[in-house]
Structure 1
């Protein structure tokens, strides 16, 4: 779940919890809103943790196998 999806779930849950006054038979819309907000917050936390791990740098101690010297040769004399 990405950051955008998490924020969308939080916003949708807040709308259902605080702004909607309708009732559906057998479904409490306030509870659905709280569940969506909790899922959004959990997704936001997990996404932040995964992004933090992804940004860690890995240091290697191995040296390159060999160094090569590159020399440039010109067949034409440089301009005066």
Structure 2
């Protein structure tokens, strides 16, 4: 969600800077556009960092044959790699 928000802020800022060509005495639309573009870039980068730090699941699958019955046995183990659970 934050990646999309960053893109939207950046696009709105670019529209204010490059597409609109009128001036007002109250506010400087170019400066607001540059601020929105900067904020959009920062939110986009934060979204990428948070996406990279997301939990990762590791699934290990082992297949073997039971020596007594001769049946095929499959074992799956799923481990969650959570950075918050690591002990330093």
- TM-score, normalised via structure 2 length: 0.60
Could you tell me which residue of structure 1 aligns to residue 53 of structure 2? 53
CA distance in 1: counterparts of 2:55 and 2:37, whole angstroms: 27
Give every structure 1 segment of 4 or more consecutive aligned residues whose post-TM-superposition deviation is greater than 4 Å: none
Q: CA RMSD in A?
A: 2.1
1:1-80 matches, cutoff 5 A: 2-56=2-56, 58=81
Offset of residue 55 of structure 1: 4.0
Distance in 2 separating the partners of 1:16 and 1:5: 17
Structure with the bigger RCO (C-alpha within 8 Å, sep 6+) is 1
Q: How many residues matched?
A: 60
Larger Rg, first or second structure (1 or 2):
1
- Which runs of no fewer than 5 residues in structure 1 stay unpaired? 61-80
Q: Which runs of 5+ in 2 are unaligned?
A: 58-80
Scaled by the length of structure 1, what TM-score is found? Answer: 0.66
